[in-house]
Amino acid sequence: MHLRARDDKDLTISTIAGSLLGLAAFMLAFTFAIVSERYDTRKSLVREDAIAIRTARQRTDFLPEADRGEAVELLRQYVDLRVKFAEANTLAPTSVETFLSEAERLQDRLWNMAVVNARKDMNSDVAALYIDSLNEVIGIHAARVAVGIQGQWLRAPCRRAWRELARTAKPSDLPCGNSHLQNGHALAHQGITT
């Protein structure tokens, strides 16, 4: 009779442990799928960003001589800013705000320069090409911010869920405590398998 009660208790513990392990496996698979997708998206956006910046740089040749040098310099500063932010490897709010405001300042200056030149000749296909490439640089920047920076801040709830699962899965937090581990160990020494 006493052995039967112990088996029932061990069965209950095994069921709880199996359920927790199943939940952990599901969450792990789900997390890896999300991370893999985000990594691929970020990698693709970096590639698209580099191509867009290179295209905008090449199309600065369509600008009048007076603006061409300034546009090239602004694009160089923009690339330097992007590299500096990536190398800093921090998402501290002050760092992010500084980066975003400086990037926006450079983008605004490039855009205003393009608009002034487009207004000089409203039918210019050449001006439209430069504006299109600049538009793409700005759009891809916005996508990278959304995926990279804002995505970091949105992952906090997922971290909390993992911490809660880890806390719940501790044997000492289970209803019967560590006794099932000690009982199982004692039974194994007696040659009885559970």
Question: Could you read off the pLDDT of 82-103 as tens digits, one per residue?
Answer: 999 989 988 788 888 899 999 9
**Distance (Å, rounded) from C-alpha 91 to C-alpha 11?**
47
pLDDT tens digits for 2-53? 555 566 667 777 888 888 888 888 888 888 887 788 788 888 999 999 999 9
Degrees to nearest 5, angle at CA 111 with 106 and 112: 100
With cut-offs at 50, 70 and 90, classify the pLDDT of residue 179: very low
The rounded distance, in Å, linking the Cα atoms of 151 and 96 is 13
The one-character DSSP state at 173 is: G
CA distance 120 to 34: 48
Residue 170 Cα distances to 29, 174, 176, 178, angstroms: 21, 7, 11, 9
pLDDT digits (tens, 9 = 90+) for 114-162: 999 888 887 888 888 999 999 999 999 999 888 877 666 555 555 566 5
**In a 10 Å sphere around its CB, with 0-12 CB exposed, 13-18 middle and 19+ buried, how is residue 141 labelled?**
buried
**Residue 175 or residue 75, greater confidence:** 75
- The runs of H, that is alpha helices, within the chain are 2-59, 65-88, 93-120, 125-144, 150-154, 156-168, 179-189
Residue 173 has pLDDT above 60, yes or no: no
